[in-house]
Amino acid sequence: MHCDRCGRQASEADRFCAGCGATLGTPEPAAPLAVSEPIALAETHAEPAAAPAYGATMPPPPLPFSPPVEAPAPPAYAAPTYARTPEPALPYAGFWRRLVAMLLDGMLLFFPQAILRVLLGLPVLSYDDEWGDKTALTAEACGLALAVVYCATLEASGAQGSLGQQMMGLAVTDSHGRRIGFGRALARQFAKVLSTLLCGVGYLLQLWNGKRQTLHDMICGCLVLRQAPERDRETGDARMVVAS
């Protein structure tokens, strides 16, 4: 074995080293490390934190025993409201005004029909014409065709009415108060035949109809309205005034 201190060779029976006298077989405790310089701890001086600035972006903390302050809710978007102007009621023509207009048209059509009868060799006024007479039937058919074309053409024109209706301040329109075409005006004249064949009941229906429509008006979807005065029509609007 060897001495742990000096490394000298020794026998197993020796308890002490012959060189240095150290006890053999027992490790010598390690000497403490010598500290040459004390470790100096660096003193750190932490700078105090800046005080928070409370304002609009950062609310102050709640006080003790006080309920938390909630942020105000953003105002709800209010949709703009538009006042809807009620549509004015259409001014429907009265029964008597329409009756006078029809009588005026009958008087205006009497003269060309009378001239046609004279040209055909028939009397102007005759109540004993035989239905088997072809000349009389021709005169009646021509007179009816003249009345149909006369009324349909004027009602589909810019005047929107026959001469009798124009004199009474009336206008024939569709269900929305707009101008009608020639096809609808022509169909309205043929529908008048049905109103006449019912003993005139088709004309009397306007007395109980809220829109003052006759039977031929309802069949063709037409209205007869009272026109506005001339000074109102010059402004370009399509206003009507209530018929008396």
Who wins on pLDDT, 1 or 215?
A: 215
* Structural domain contains residue 41: no
Tell me the two tokens of residue 144: 């009816």
* Other C-beta atoms lying within 10 Å of the C-beta of residue 70: 6
Against a cut of 0.85, is the pTM above it? Answer: no
Domain containing residue 211: 95-233
* Structural domain contains residue 16: no
* Structural domain contains residue 59: no
pLDDT winner (highest mean) among 121-130, 163-172, 202-211: 163-172
* Structural domain contains residue 185: yes
Number of separate domains in the chain? 1
* Structural domain contains residue 77: no
Q: pLDDT tens digits, residue range 13-39? A: 777 777 777 777 655 555 555 555 555
* Structural domain contains residue 153: yes
**Rounded-to-integer distance, Cα 23 and Cα 14, Å:** 9
* Structural domain contains residue 204: yes
**49, 42 contact by CB (below 8 A):** no
pLDDT winner (highest mean) among 82-91, 174-183, 234-243: 174-183
How wide is the angle at C-alpha 227 spanned by C-alphas 223 and 229, nearest 5°?
A: 170
Q: pLDDT tens digits, residue range 53-65? A: 655 566 666 666 5
DSSP 3-state assignment of 190?
helix
Looking only at the bridges linking them, the beta strands covering 222-226 and 170-174 are: antiparallel
Q: pLDDT tens digits, residue range 78-119? A: 666 666 665 566 788 889 999 999 999 999 999 998 898 888
* Structural domain contains residue 42: no
